[in-house]
Amino acid sequence: MPDVALLIDWENVYYTLRQHTTGPLPSTLAILQAILQKAAEFGPVRVKQAIFGSEIASQDDTLLMAPGQRADVLVQAGAAGSYALRAIANDQGYPSPVGPLARIVVEGEPLAMALPAALGKAPLATIGDEEITNTRRLTLSVDEPESPPSANYQEFTYLVCGRHFDPNRVDQRIPLGAVEEWTVVNEHEDDHIFHIHTNPFEMIAVNGEKLAERDWRDTVVVPRKGSVTFRSRFLDFTGRFVLHCHMMNHEELGMMQVVEVYKS
């Protein structure tokens, strides 16, 4: 299985490629070559670290965080010293911001504290197949302006289910008490970030592949030309709220919908 991570170090910029596919190795190598070629345009490239196959789980120290996403991370301090926490480049279809986020200083007398062997349970019970009352399919897409896009940027339109946001239109009506499975399909060649207010959702699958470990979220990356599938309970709140792409420029250009939970 050609899982691969590559860290390229030129100046203080890191480029990370993480691929998790079941495709044959040559396709992975082709991607690596393409990225090395691209990186070489910025100057001499030195491969700092290349990790293949099962080693990736123990050596991978990166975490993909979408705008609006949060993560709890347990860290055990290593040797005394100063450590950089930095944003590294992420391939989301176009360049992402990079740079320092924080400096972590480890100092003082060591404490005897071990990391826990197992993590605690999720706060909500998992949603079983028998609980589902309805399914929905939403699409994310973008209408691009006429070429060149930079001269016609105001023509960009970001859509959910083929429609631009309208605050006066309810796009998803859900009866109170419903338990639903949604599949959000990203038809665009860039990643988008699905975010919904009020009720969290339990992640079930990415690109149709069931997850070994489900987790609860309100924000998730919907991979380009891919999909996410999740389940959600609508048990107490009635009224209107929104779902949207959490890249704010996309949301502002229309990638948002009104959701209404109603008493039936």
Chain contacts with Cu ion (rule: CB under 5 A): 192, 245, 247, 250
Of the candidates 254, 215, 250, 232, the residue with the CA atom closest to the CA atom of residue 69: 215
- Whose Cβ is closer to Cu ion: residue 12's or residue 96's? 96
- Cβ at position 251, least distance to Cu ion in Å: 7
- Cβ at position 191, least distance to Cu ion in Å: 7
- Whose Cβ is closer to Cu ion: residue 231's or residue 246's? 246
- Cβ at position 192, least distance to Cu ion in Å: 3
Of the candidates 261, 243, 188, 227, the residue with the CA atom closest to the CA atom of residue 68: 243
- Whose Cβ is closer to Cu ion: residue 60's or residue 187's? 187
- Cβ at position 98, least distance to Cu ion in Å: 20
Q: Is 244 exposed, middle or buried (0-12, 13-18, 19+ CB in 10 A)?
A: buried
CA angle at 255 for the pair 254 and 260, rounded to the nearest 5°: 100
Report the distance separating Cα 228 and Cα 187, nearest Å: 12
- Whose Cβ is closer to Cu ion: residue 192's or residue 233's? 192
Any idea how long the chain is? 264
Report the distance separating Cα 242 and Cα 198, nearest Å: 9
- Whose Cβ is closer to Cu ion: residue 201's or residue 234's? 201
- Whose Cβ is closer to Cu ion: residue 181's or residue 251's? 251
Report the distance separating Cα 199 and Cα 252, nearest Å: 22
Report the distance separating Cα 2 and Cα 10, nearest Å: 25
- Cβ at position 118, least distance to Cu ion in Å: 35
- Cβ at position 106, least distance to Cu ion in Å: 37
Report the distance separating Cα 14 and Cα 99, nearest Å: 9
